[in-house]
Amino acid sequence: MAIDDTPSSFFAPWPDRLRHSAIILLAAGLALSALVTLGELPPIPAAVVFVLIAAAALVPWRLHDTAASPEMVRTEDPVEAAAVNAIVAGMPDPAVLLDRAGRVIHLNAAAAQLAPALRKNELAQFALRSPEIVSALREAIATTQPRRATYLDQVPVDRWMELVITPVPVPTRFGGADKCMLMTFHDLTPLRRVEEMRADFVANASHELRTPLAALSGFIDTLQGPAKEDSRARERFLGIMQAQAKRMARLIDDLLSLSRVELSAHVRPDTLVDLVPIIRQVVDGLEPLARERQVEIEIDLPEPPVTIAGDREELLRVCENLIENALKYGASGGKVIVSLTTAKASAGDGAPEYRVKVRDFGPGIAPEHLPRLTERFYRVDVGDSRAQGGTGLGLSLVKHILARHRGRLLIESVPKNGATFTACFPQIKPTTVA
């Protein structure tokens, strides 16, 4: 399968052949000249002998080999050369080089994995399962024009693929060019998934907004019509309308925060902030809610400062979401403990980190929900969350903020025995927490 770079084949150019035969011609010339000079040979026969030797030397010596070994001719084909093979093998996407009839000349490992039935020297049309690929390939071969096809492969899992067939002229041994077909596959599945997620997100967001909006316009109709003169009903409805309007405002607020955090996800905050006053501020702010829910908040904080590189507003949001969730969903436990400690990270390099832990003693969360809690709009109980004024975006926001701070969120829960949400932050310098 090597390229034949010896220029002595039948079609090698004359200057090359002369160069290769120069020694023979020189030696013959010198010997014949010497014989003529010594009078051993007349000049005319010497000239005839020289012409014969020259002709013999210039006859392409590979002519015999070529005729004798057709297998060699095949393997010397530049189309099958190691360089072409290496290029196809080095392509990141599945790639197959076909000859004009659609026979596989080269294929890379990714192509072999995608279509295990593809074999060298066999027709690709027989090995490819998808009718879309086969028809695109047939068209490309028939027209020698580029072809594209997008198709869905459903076995073993859904995969969207784009197939591009490009005719490529490959030089032949005879100095011409052969039309081969380079078939490459691009996996569009990740793009599709992102697109689906975006569409899901828009659908969820508009659904969440539409619900309070529908409630608001329903109450407005009632107040303008049947309940126009009913002052007690007006009071009650206005209260509900205010709660719905607050819910919409909160949802928009959360959506905006989420998109802001996502936009700056790659920029790590560099301002030094102390975690202790942030936690105190949030706990103080949530005291009225704790009183209303009859929950006692216990705090266990070290002496300040406990400094990390962070964004103050975002850290307030993290603490607020976690403590508020504990008060809302874990109220039945009557107690919430908020603590700040130092621990060695169990993951990664085991570097020490600060941990803000929020523990409640409520009903806890069933294990099957735990991995999905940080998904946008994911709620264990949608009705309960809505009743509590939740948007389903809080923990997703927490996760994104922590990722921006190079931290992580740990969630542990034993059903009927409460839940613990821990926000972990990497330390920037030797520990300052006792």
Q: What is the DSSP string of 332-357?
A: GG-EEEEEEEEEE-SSTT--EEEEEE
Q: Does 392 bind ligand ADP (CB under 6 A)?
A: yes
Q: Does 196 bind ligand ADP (CB under 6 A)?
A: no
Q: Does 379 bind ligand ADP (CB under 6 A)?
A: yes
CB-facing half-sphere around the CA of 261: CA atoms within 13 A? 27
Please identify which residue in the block is written with the tokens 């405002």: 249
Q: Does 313 bind ligand ADP (CB under 6 A)?
A: no
Q: Which is nearer to ligand ADP, 394 or 426 (CB)?
A: 394
Q: Does 319 bind ligand ADP (CB under 6 A)?
A: no
Beta bridge partners of 37: none
Give the Cα separation of 56 and 48 in Å (integer): 12
Cβ proximity of 119 and 102 under 8 Å: no
Q: Among residue numbers 338 through 377, which ones bind ligand ADP (CB under 6 A)? A: 360, 362, 365, 373
Q: Among residue numbers 413 through 432, which ones bind ligand ADP (CB under 6 A)? A: 419
* Closest CB 342 distance from ligand ADP, rounded Å: 23
Token digits for 239?
């209260």
* Closest CB 297 distance from ligand ADP, rounded Å: 13
Q: Which is nearer to ligand ADP, 94 or 392 (CB)?
A: 392
Give the Cα separation of 130 and 132 in Å (integer): 5
Q: Which is nearer to ligand ADP, 105 or 358 (CB)?
A: 358
Q: Among residue numbers 277 through 306, which ones bind ligand ADP (CB under 6 A)? A: none
Beta bridge partners of 121: none
Phi and psi for 392 in degrees, rounded to 5? 80, 10
Amino acid present at 64: H
Q: Does 401 bind ligand ADP (CB under 6 A)?
A: no
Cβ proximity of 105 and 82 under 8 Å: no
* Closest CB 93 distance from ligand ADP, rounded Å: 38
Segment contacting ligand ADP (CB under 6 A): 53-61, 127-135, 186-194, 387-395? 387-395
Binding site for ligand ADP (CB under 6 A): 321, 325-326, 329-330, 360, 362, 365, 373, 379-381, 385, 390-396, 419
